[in-house]
């Protein structure tokens, strides 16, 4: 037997899609109860995970949790565009979040979708969204040849891991005439967690832990899957993110950071000039480079000399800084510069 509390909650769930802004007033009038009573039932549904709340004070809206779960397949063709897909099928979803979250989601969504449409060499794309607790998860999958293989072929790399390293630097594109190569760089930093599954590799950037990793996958999965996760409560801003990668008065994307540990294949030590050239490859496109030595235990003289003496000699206009070096790595760098 349904109690009055059950009936009120069922009424809220049934009518919420049509009344996201005034469900409290509508429910209170329908059942002749106080707004406080309705708020108590809304809190119960929030705690159960049946609904979610966005906005503050007068702009509060309630929506069904399931309204964020979407899965749509598209055929890649001349008539398809990331902007059309965004506007037609997903913009209303992102508009349910604060403005800063909307900006970050729309940027990342369209950037990754453009890559899948224009550069994946596939025939179809699957786009999924889901909501878990406070986080929105966006997943974009294509059936192409895989992003790491595409970059490795274009840059003539011997190792797919080198493609992942280059991707993390930014300005990597297989179509320089029409594409700046900024999308993955900024999207990976815009979201709380960013992952790429492709070509037996799993590329992860976790902003909360300030960590990057690259793992080997035992899978026969074709194509590329990019998964992006962001909290609806994040205070991050797209404009602030873009400004972080300017250098001095240059408004363009002129500054990058390189996680040096991603240039290591397995447990090999970073000792050679060849390894150093993995790090410096493509960096001539920037004015300021920050090398992050997190989790790098030791570096050799040849590696350090190539990065901190030879490369700057041939690129005198580029500023190179380093961070998070342990005492042994710092000693080798200072010895080279000394």
Q: What are phi and psi of 258, to 5 degrees?
A: -125, 125
Contact 127/85 with Cβ under 8 angstroms? Answer: yes
Q: What is the pLDDT of residues 77-104, one digit of tens each?
A: 878 899 989 988 888 888 888 999 999 9
Q: What is the pLDDT of residues 256-289, one digit of tens each?
A: 999 998 888 877 889 999 999 999 999 998 999 9
Q: Which range (41-45, 67-71, 132-136, 323-327) has the least confidence?
A: 67-71
pLDDT of residue 117: 92
Mean pLDDT of 316-326: 94
Q: Which range (52-56, 113-117, 142-146, 150-154) has the least confidence?
A: 52-56
Q: Which two tokens stand for residue 155?
A: 């840059």
Residue 200 has pLDDT above 80, yes or no: yes
Residue, of 23 and 55, whose pLDDT is higher: 23
State the pLDDT confidence band at 55, using cuts at 50, 70 and 90: low
Residue, of 62 and 330, whose pLDDT is higher: 330
Mean pLDDT of the chain: 89
pLDDT of residue 326: 95
Helix (H, G, I), strand (E, B) or coil at 318: coil
Residue 69 has pLDDT above 90, yes or no: no
pLDDT of residue 56: 67
Distance set, CA 337 to CA 231, 306, 319 (Å): 43, 11, 14
Mean pLDDT of 304-333: 94
Residue 252 has pLDDT above 90, yes or no: no
pLDDT of residue 196: 96
Q: What is the pLDDT of residues 113-136, one digit of tens each?
A: 999 998 888 999 999 998 887 899
Percent of the chain with pLDDT over 90: 54
Percent of the chain with pLDDT over 70: 97
* CA distance linking residue 227 with residue 268, whole number of Å: 29
Helix (H, G, I), strand (E, B) or coil at 247: strand
Q: Which residues contact 173 (CB under 8 A, 6 or more apart)?
A: 179, 180, 181
Q: Which residues contact 136 (CB under 8 A, 6 or more apart)?
A: 68, 97, 101, 105, 129, 130, 229, 230, 231, 232
Residue 20 has pLDDT above 80, yes or no: yes
């Amino acid at each position: 037997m349904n109690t009055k509390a059950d009936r009120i909650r069922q009424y809220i769930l049934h009518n919420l899609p049509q009344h996201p802004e005034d469900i409290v007033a509508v429910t209170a009038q329908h059942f002749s109860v106080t707004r406080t009573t309705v708020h108590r039932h809304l809190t119960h549904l929030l705690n159960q995970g049946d609904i979610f709340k966005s906005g503050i004070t007068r702009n509060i809206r309630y929506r069904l949790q399931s309204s964020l779960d979407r899965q749509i397949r598209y055929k890649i063709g001349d008539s398809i565009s990331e902007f059309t897909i965004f506007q037609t099928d997903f913009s209303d979803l992102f508009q349910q979040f604060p403005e800063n979250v909307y900006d970050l989601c729309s940027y990342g969504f369209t950037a990754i979708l453009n890559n899948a449409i224009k550069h994946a060499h596939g025939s179809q794309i699957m786009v999924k969204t889901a909501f878990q607790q406070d986080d929105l998860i966006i997943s974009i999958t294509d059936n192409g040849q895989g992003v790491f293989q595409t970059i490795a072929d274009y840059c003539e790399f011997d190792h797919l891991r080198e493609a992942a390293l280059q991707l993390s630097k930014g300005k990597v594109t297989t179509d320089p005439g029409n594409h700046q190569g900024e999308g993955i760089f900024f999207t990976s930093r815009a979201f709380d967690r960013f992952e790429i599954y492709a070509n037996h590799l799993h590329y992860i950037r976790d902003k909360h832990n300030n960590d990057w990793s690259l793992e080997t996958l035992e899978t026969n999965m074709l194509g590329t899957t990019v998964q992006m996760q962001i909290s609806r409560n994040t205070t991050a801003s797209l404009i602030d993110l873009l400004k972080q990668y300017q250098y001095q008065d240059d408004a363009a994307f002129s500054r990058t950071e390189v996680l040096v540990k991603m240039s290591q294949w397995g447990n090999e030590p970073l000792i050679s000039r060849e390894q150093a050239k993995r790090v410096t490859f493509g960096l001539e496109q920037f004015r300021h480079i920050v090398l992050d030595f997190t989790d790098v235990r030791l570096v050799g003289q040849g590696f350090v000399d190539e990065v901190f003496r030879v490369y700057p000699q041939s690129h005198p206009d580029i500023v190179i800084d380093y961070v998070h070096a342990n005492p042994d790595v710092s000693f080798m760098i200072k010895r080279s510069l000394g």
